[in-house]
Amino acid sequence: MNIIVEDLKYQDIEECYKLNKLIFDEEYGLEDVKDLYQKLSDKKDTYRFLVAKVDNKIVGYTSAIMAYNLFDGLRPFMTLWWVGTHPDFRHKGVATQLFKRIEEIAKENNCELIYFTSENYRTGAHSFYQKQGYKMESKGFQKMLD
């Protein structure tokens, strides 16, 4: 299976939107997503939206955000959001290829580390992340704001 990982293109947003709804069972306004993409897509030193494709079909997605901490900001760090693979393409190397490209981008941007959170119940994903060399070292906290 030939897996291609590339930056999300505007014309692929709707397909990617449907994939994210399938994977994460969350839905946001498609037009809002398109508007936000147009605002952020040219800021590749901060935002990267990556898709994995098989036979030109989007089967994986993630958002990568690079930022600095003021007090140790000599090198940026990367955070990931919405890492997901289509259920029919899990355990076929899609996520491995996504993470390979994520790490290439982090190195290209001199990132110090890659950080992301994962829900406690996603034990299969946790095993995958550990096989990729990631360590579960901290707990994430969040507070949803109105």
For strands 77-85 and 47-54, give the pairing: unpaired
Q: What is the CATH number of domain 3-131?
A: 3.40.630.30
**Residue 139: pLDDT band by 50, 70, 90 thresholds?**
confident
Q: Would you list the domain boundaries of the chain?
A: 3-131
The phi, psi pair for 29, rounded to 5°, reads -65, 125
Q: What is the pLDDT of residue 11?
A: 98
Question: How confident is the model over 49-75, as pLDDT tens digits?
Answer: 999 999 999 999 999 999 998 888 789
| Centroid of chain to Cα 59 | 12
What is the reported pTM? Answer: 0.90
Question: How confident is the model over 81-103, as pLDDT tens digits?
Answer: 989 999 999 999 999 999 999 99
Q: Give the CB-side neighbour count of residue 78, counting CA atoms within 13 A.
A: 24
